[in-house]
Amino acid sequence: MKESTAGIVCESFRMSSACDFKKKFGTKVLGARVYYLEETFSTQDIAKQLASGKTPEGTIVLAGTHKKGKGRRNKSWYSPPGGIWASLVFYPGGSLSPRIMTLAGALAVAKTLEKVFCLPARIKWPNDCMVNGRKVAGVLGESDGVALIVGIGVNVNLRMAQFPEGLSDRATSILAETGSEADESFLLGEVLRRFEGYYFKMNKGEPQEVLQEITLLSSVHGKIVTMEYMGREYTGTVLDFDSEGAIILRLDSGVQMRFENGEIKCSWQ
């Protein structure tokens, strides 16, 4: 079947009924509409197109695999079958930044991995979820000025041997960490319920509890890190994250510096 939505032609574009999904996931908003594509270029692009056509808040676009999955900083995102590749549409009332939503998405994944699989999951600012020093999930928050599109990628049932060169020493999956296959749709529901809970709090203007949880699971909080930003490196201690998802460092000079973007380079993670 071929259908077209907002100019994107997709294969096997299927929409499932709203009630089924919210009930299945145990969510209030996420799953208002769910689109599933066996294969597409990037769920992120489709979710953006749907948002520009005013799809309801809570719309989810899921893919079995991406032909051109998108990561942060225009990197590609390896997304073969066996992962959760999902883009979520939100219309926050206030001034929620994509950065804090990204961190909240990483928190939802980390908490799920901790609670469901007893994995020592940590958040690495600005968007990574790590287990034992390797990346198990990544989150991509983007805004079109009205909608926030949050893409969540989780390596669920991927075997270590299948990661391509360049990723095999940095990535991991739930299967690799636990030794058993996980139920992707159960896992998705667990992540979505936590994530929308964080979203509701932050959208009410109450980000403190969420920030506290992010801090507790952060792999960089209190650590000395080197931040790469705009071609320069800054070394300092991580003091805090603010309600916009920016990170505050106290540099060796004693000066405090706030970064909205950047790359943390460190050997321990």
Work out how close the CB of 210 gets to ligand BTN at its nearest, in angstroms, rounded to a whole number. Answer: 20
Residues 61, 85 contacting (CB under 8 angstroms): no
Query: Radius of gyration of the chain from Cα atoms?
Result: 18
Residues 47, 61 contacting (CB under 8 angstroms): yes
Closer residue to ligand BTN, CB minimum distance, 83 or 236: 83
| Residue from 121, 123, 140, 220 binding ligand BTN (CB under 6 A) | 140
Work out how close the CB of 32 gets to ligand BTN at its nearest, in angstroms, rounded to a whole number. Answer: 18
66 binds ligand BTN (CB under 6 A): yes
**Burial (CB count <10 Å: 0-12, 13-18, 19+), residue 214:** buried
219 binds ligand BTN (CB under 6 A): no
Give the contacts of 249 (CB within 8 A, at least 6 positions apart).
225, 227, 234, 236, 237, 238, 239, 256, 257, 259
What residues pair up with 60 in beta bridges, in sequence order?
Answer: 34, 88
Closer residue to ligand BTN, CB minimum distance, 85 or 241: 85
Residues from 145 through 204 that contact ligand BTN (CB under 6 A): 151-153
Closer residue to ligand BTN, CB minimum distance, 21 or 85: 85
Tell me the per-residue interface mask from 69 to 108 with ligand BTN, x by CB under 6 A, - otherwise.
xxxx--x-x-x-----xxx---------------------
Tell me the per-residue interface mask from 236 to 265 with ligand BTN, x by CB under 6 A, - otherwise.
------------------------------
How far apart CA 37 and CA 187 sit, in angstroms, is 18
Which region among 113-121, 138-146, 217-225, 230-238 touches ligand BTN (by CB under 6 A)? Answer: 138-146
Residues from 5 through 64 that contact ligand BTN (CB under 6 A): 42-44
143 binds ligand BTN (CB under 6 A): no
Within the chain, strands assigned E span 2-5, 8-11, 14-16, 34-40, 60-66, 83-90, 121-124, 128-131, 134-143, 148-155, 224-229, 232-241, 247-251, 256-259, 263-265
For ligand BTN, the binding residues (CB under 6 A) are 42-44, 66, 69-72, 75, 77, 79, 85-87, 127-128, 138-140, 151-153
